[in-house]
Amino acid sequence: MKVVIIGGVAGGASAAARLRRMDENAEIVLIEKSAYISYANCGLPYYIGGVIHDRQKLFVQTPSSFRQRFQIDARISSEVIRIDRDRKSVLIKNLNSEETYEEHYDKLILSPGAEPIRPPLPGLQLPGVFTLRNVADTDAIKKFTEGKSNAKAVVIGAGFIGLEMAENLHHLGMHVSVVEMASQILAPVDFAIAVIAQQHLRHKGLDLYLNTSMTGIRQEDSHLFVDLKEKESLEADIVILSIGVRADTQLAQSSGLELGPTKAIKVNEYLQTSDPDIYALGDAIEFDHPILHKSMPTYLAGPANKQGRIVADNIIFGNQSKYKGAIGTAIVKLFDLTIATSGVASKHLKIAQVPHIVSTTHSASHATYYPGSHLMSIQLAVSQLDGRLLGAQAIGVQGVDKRIDVLATAVQRGASIEELTEFEHAYAPPYSSAKDPVNMAAFVAQNRLTGKSKAITWDELKLRPNESQLVDVRTRAEFEKGHIPQALHIPIDELRDRISELDPNKPVIVYCQVGLRGYLSERILRQRGFTDVINLAGGYYSWSFCDKELQIT
């Protein structure tokens, strides 16, 4: 069996290694157009920022180590320029010698990845304007940034890679501005969670230009100017264009393979393209989303690596391993914070018209009596049809990574919110609380789902007419530090004695700092004859972040 693999990084290299582990006799040829195979794309921003010092550490394998360990024929600086499906061969161009030659295959694997989107706007070819996809881009950016620690950087696009670049350029000492067309950073995350990160980025000295699109880049003397729609231009020494990627389908298209609705390569559950002898994986494919049931691409390293394993197994053993789709679990470090997401955010569920409730909780990352705990925010989206967890997001200083992995497992396994309340976790004070933040988030969602508590979100509160009685149940000191306009102040410990100040026939909205005392107050009022009582989700903490953000942007 001879297998040719196009693309030698995440998906391609992992398929190649698994092929060898499963079949000692297969002939495996890996064709990679860049000068490197199996490198750590995910580490590139950190190498540029000087966090990773040793460039060599980016390379997991080299052609010679691949040959020595796995007997894989890895050919770098070699581009597949044509697939001849009838002859079952690929035409390869040696990019050093310009020579072309044919290579036969029994099975072909396509893992060509995705390309950064470059819209047809003026100035994107100017020196100092970069996209970041591979080692060559990294070396070019690294060289350009040398000795420019006081430079001005503009990052266009506040997705995961754009923000990693923003942090790393800041780390080099640059003044960094981030331009984002949407009203928030990180599209997969809900606003109430994203704003916490936004305010942190500003606090660290970054300038955020939200609701702002770039119309082009100009050069005047030795300076770049990023032109913004209806706003003043931003002066820059370096511009990173990071507005997203799109599946690289050149070869698939020219060889007549079927594409899906998003114009990525269409594959079946065995990751087989419309040609049974050609498999495809990674950023170049689209697949049915397990929650939204829509064909979508996933631009993440984890799924690409896992797909590599599945494709290799299906080639060696026949189609047995099924790919089940990715739910989009992702995480990013933003200075002192970590923000992570899994499944589908509420805003996207709303667009897809999936009935759901949202719970927003802010819990300590570990027992507060043990030093060093920090507030962690978790937002869940839960199906109102069957109580299944559909999406989860978390942000905080500590422990976000482990919480999102627990939540991702729940989303992926189709766990109900009831099951999530039962999830057992390891607890000792330095790590968690007897009720872990994941359990707390689930308890609140369960109370909402079963009607034991009613909640209103910060944006619903803003839209609500003034006929409700809005009650702040926090302490006097908390109230005086800041409160929602028109709120009546009745601290929770005085609520029972001062209940006559409230009209039981009118709706009451209660709030505290994070939602817990609000919930206790809601329960007191409900059990004392108030029928329409609502607790502000996430309390004043969520409300003030969102309100402040609306005032800034």
Ordered strands of the 175-179 beta sheet: 129-130, 238-241, 152-156, 175-179, 207-209
Cα distance between residue 411 and residue 545, in whole Å: 27
Nearer to ligand FAD, 250 or 320 (CB): 250
Site for ligand FAD in 121-180 (CB under 6 A): 132-134, 161
Q: Is 45 in the site for ligand FAD (CB under 6 A)?
A: yes
Cα distance between residue 43 and residue 153, in whole Å: 20
Nearer to ligand FAD, 88 or 523 (CB): 88
Nearer to ligand FAD, 304 or 420 (CB): 304
Q: Is 10 in the site for ligand FAD (CB under 6 A)?
A: yes
Q: How far is the CB of 91 from ligand FAD (least distance, A)?
A: 10
**From the list 192, 251, 271, 495, which residue makes contact with ligand FAD (rule: CB under 6 A)?**
251
Q: Which residue number places its CB atom closest to ligand FAD? A: 282
DSSP, collapsed to helix, strand or coil, labels residue 533 as: strand
Q: Which stretch binds ligand FAD (CB under 6 A): 33-41, 97-105, 172-180, 483-491?
A: 33-41
Start-to-end CA distance of the chain, whole Å, equals 59
Q: How far is the CB of 409 from ligand FAD (least distance, A)?
A: 17
Q: Is 12 in the site for ligand FAD (CB under 6 A)?
A: yes
Q: How far is the CB of 543 from ligand FAD (least distance, A)?
A: 32
Of 444, 380, 448, the C-alpha closest to 415 is 380
**From the list 216, 244, 290, 302, which residue makes contact with ligand FAD (rule: CB under 6 A)?**
302
In the structure encoding, which two tokens stand for residue 164, read together?
Answer: 């990693």
Site string for ligand FAD, 256-285 (x = CB under 6 A): --------------------------xxx-
Catalytic residue (one of 35, 40, 42, 516) = 42
Of 108, 120, 114, the C-alpha closest to 83 is 108
With residues binned 3-state (H G I as helix, E B as strand, rest as coil), the percentages for the chain, rounded to 5, are: 30, 25, 40
Q: How far is the CB of 244 from ligand FAD (least distance, A)?
A: 11
Q: Is 301 in the site for ligand FAD (CB under 6 A)?
A: yes
What value, to the nearest 5°, has the Cα angle with vertex 268 and ends 42 and 17?
A: 45
Q: Is 304 in the site for ligand FAD (CB under 6 A)?
A: yes
Q: Is 93 in the site for ligand FAD (CB under 6 A)?
A: no
**Known catalytic residue at 546:** no
Q: Is 111 in the site for ligand FAD (CB under 6 A)?
A: yes
Q: Is 79 in the site for ligand FAD (CB under 6 A)?
A: yes
Radius of gyration of the chain (CA): 26
DSSP, collapsed to helix, strand or coil, labels residue 433 as: coil
Q: Report in angstroms the alpha-carbon separations of 279 from 8, 113, 262.
A: 15, 14, 18
541 contact partners, CB below 8 Å, separation of at least 6: 362, 375, 377, 513, 514
**Residues taking part in catalysis:** 42
Q: Which residues bind ligand FAD (CB under 6 A)?
A: 6-7, 9-12, 31-34, 41-42, 44-45, 79-80, 111-113, 132-134, 161, 248, 251, 282-284, 299-302, 304
